[in-house]
Amino acid sequence: MAAAAAPGALGAWQAGRARLVAAGCAPLGPRWTLPGSLTGQRLGPAIRARGWAPAAGGLPSRRGYSSEVKTDDELRVRYLEEENRGIVVLGINRAHAKNSFSKNLVKMLSKAVDALKSDKKVRTVIVRSEVPGIFCAGADLKERVKMSSSEVGPFVSKIRAVINEIANLPVPTIAALDGLALGGGLELALACDIRVAASSAKMGLVETKLAIIPGGGGTQRLPRAIGMSLAKELIFSARVLDGQEAKAVGLVSHVLEQNQEGDAAYRKALDLAREFLPQGPVAMRVAKLAINQGMEVDLVTGLAIEEACYAQTIPTKDRLEGLLAFKEKRSPRYKGE
C-alpha cells in the first residue's frame, strides 16, 4: 500500500507496520483510516483463523486439566476443556536435559506456535514445564559443544526466531516459572506478556559466564521489563534471582510459595487465564497489539495506533453483544466475531 512520505510519527508507524507484517500479526487493510498526519494508513482485520487439532493419543494430564496429549514428546500441547476452554498449555518436557533447547524442541515449539497464532479458538497460552523444579535451562550445551562455529550462529538464530514467534502471538501469554529459568529459558519467559513464579524459582541471564551474551532477545527485553541500569547489572554479573527478588525488581508480576505438587506458578497462571476468558476475544487481541506497538513509538504515534486498534472493535458482533448483555443484565456470550 502506497502512502505519502512524512517525517516523525508516520515514519514510526510505517516501521511498526513492517514489524506487524513480519510478525504475522494484523496486516494493514482497507477497513480503517487513521486521523491527522497518519491519514491514508489503514488497519485491517486483526486475525485470520486457521484451525489446529490438539495432539491425538496418549494420556490425560496428571492434574486433570486438559485434553489428550502425546506423553513422549519434548513439548506437550494441551487444549484445556470445559470451564478452561480457550486456554492452551505448552509444556516443555525434556527432563534428561533440564528442558534445554535442542534442535528438536525448537522445531516443535515453532510448529506449535505457528498453529496457535492463527487459531481463533485460542484465548490465552500458558508456557510451563512438565519437569519438577525446572522451567528451562537455556541452550542444550551438550548438543552445542558438538556444533562447529559455523553451526552455532544459525542455531541461535532459530532459538531467537521461535522466541520472537511466541512474543508475537496475538493472544495473552503467561510464563509459569516453577523452577530454574536460565539464559534462553528466561528469554523465553521474557517473551511472554506476564510472568509468574514460585518463590523457590531461580532465574537469570548467565551467558556472560560462558563468554557470550544473551542471544534470544534478553539484551532487549530485560531492559524493557526492569529498566536499563538494572538489566545491565544483572547481565554483567550473570546474577541469578529467586522468585521474591524477581518480583521486587519487576521481572515477574506474581510470586507464590511453592506447593507440594511443585506447580504453584502454573496454578496462578491458570487463575489469571481464567480471568481473561470472559473478555471479548477481538478486544483482547487488539489491546495487546496496541500496547506492544505503542511501546515502540512516541506517544503521539502510539495514540494513533490505539485509535486504529479501537476502530477494529467497532464493527464486531461482540461489541453489540456486550452492549446487549449490559442492557439485559446478563453475562455476555462472545464469539470472537
Q: Who contacts 283 (Cβ-Cβ below 8 Å, separation ≥6)?
A: 313, 318
Element (H, E) at 256: strand 254-256
d(CA 176, CA 24): 25
Q: Which of 12, 26, 139, 246 is catalytic?
A: 139
Q: Which of 130, 165, 207, 245 is catalytic?
A: 207
Q: In the annotation, is 207 catalytic?
A: yes
Helices 299-313 and 281-294: crossing angle in degrees, nearest 10, is 170
Bridging pattern class, strands 194-198 and 241-242 = unpaired
Q: In the annotation, is 139 catalytic?
A: yes
Residue type (1 letter), 176: A
Q: Which of 16, 86, 138, 184 is catalytic?
A: 184
Closest CA to 238 of 202, 206, 191: 206
Hey, how many other C-beta atoms are within 10 angstroms of the C-beta on 311? 16
Helices 228-237 and 218-226: crossing angle in degrees, nearest 10, is 130
Q: Which of 74, 130, 165, 187 is catalytic?
A: 187
Query: What is residue 131's DSSP assignment?
Result: S
Q: In the annotation, is 187 catalytic?
A: yes
DSSP string, 218-236: HHHHHHHHH-HHHHHHHHH
In order of 111, 160, 218, 326, the CA distances from 76 in angstroms are 12, 21, 25, 39
* Active-site residue list: 139, 184, 187, 207
